[in-house]
Amino acid sequence: MMPSVTTSTEPTPEQRLQLQRAHERLRAASKDLQSLVATDPIKGRWKPEAAPAQVLEAAREDLRQAQVRLAACEAQTLGWHGDADVIGVQDGRRLIAFSFQDMLAYHGPGSPGGVAHAFKIMQRAFPLLDPDAPLQRREVTLRTAFGGPGARDGFELVTRAVTGERYVLDPDLARADRGTTMERFVFCVGYRGRSVTLTVREGIVTDEFIALARKERSDSEEARLDLLKLEMTERVMSLRAPEVYYAALDG
């Protein structure tokens, strides 16, 4: 099934370059694997020998990595969503890909909106921190003023930043000038000496949601908050990452 396109926003020159590099990398990886497994013999002159298993596995891993990288670029640049909408990271030499459903299953039903925010934050930040390759998951750092458990668990699944003590809750990052609703939705993502700061765009989080989330609630208010959580989840996941978060490289 073809992915859906949720926006007609024109890609920026930087996004076009990222997409071009992703396509070139996929073509190169595919060609390399083809040369190992699909090269025809030349009758009477040459017969290809079987490649060592280790070489084949490395070539297959390169191809998988290139496929995930292209899928991530398409999701961010073109707004294509579907089975290919994943976040890819490296764990040593192995590529691991996580979908939103993976993150939601890890967290549970409590805070789906926070999980959605984490997904879009990583989609937005990771290509800016390294345009050419998936990040090494255990080298990513996160600082935020947002204390929600959904976002925390989403980051933990993909980056293991919580167990690795690279996830810091920092109330001083709050942007009071943005108002009560948006002030805590500030995330600083770091990787190998680079960092990017993300702030939520207007209209993503509602005043009613924040007001209910920060008070003692009656049963009816709890039910209302559950509905608002689902509405925000759908809103966040229906948009491209740049439509959910502003991003500025630091330094």
Tell me the DSSP string of 179-201: -TTTTT-EEEEEETTEEEEEEEP
Q: Token digits for 228?
A: 């608002």
Q: Token digits for 125?
A: 């930040």
The domain segmentation of the chain, as residue ranges, is 11-84, 100-251
Q: Torsions phi, psi of 208, nearest 5?
A: -65, -40
Q: Torsions phi, psi of 210, nearest 5?
A: -65, -40
What is the reported pTM? 0.72
Average pLDDT over residues 1-28: 68
Q: What pLDDT sits at residue 223?
A: 94
Which of 105, 108, 191, 107 lies closest to 143 in space, CA to CA? 191
Q: What pLDDT sits at residue 39?
A: 63
Map residue 109 onto helix, strand or coil. Answer: coil
Q: What pLDDT sits at residue 47?
A: 62
pLDDT digits (tens, 9 = 90+) for 103-157: 999 999 999 999 999 999 999 999 999 988 889 999 999 999 999 999 999 999 9
CA dist., res. 51 & res. 37, Å (int): 8
CA dist., res. 86 & res. 102, Å (int): 10
Q: Is residue 195 very low, low, confident or very high in pLDDT (cuts 50, 70, 90)?
A: very high
Q: What pLDDT sits at residue 60?
A: 78
- For residue 183, the Cα-to-chain-centroid distance in whole angstroms is 22
Q: What fold, for 100-251?
A: 60s Ribosomal Protein L30; Chain: A; (3.30.1330)
**Residue 62 pLDDT > 90:** no
pLDDT digits (tens, 9 = 90+) for 78-97: 655 444 478 989 999 888 88
Q: Is 50 left (phi over 0), alpha (psi -120 to 50) or beta?
A: beta
- What does the mean pLDDT of the chain come to? 86
**Residue 197 pLDDT > 60:** yes
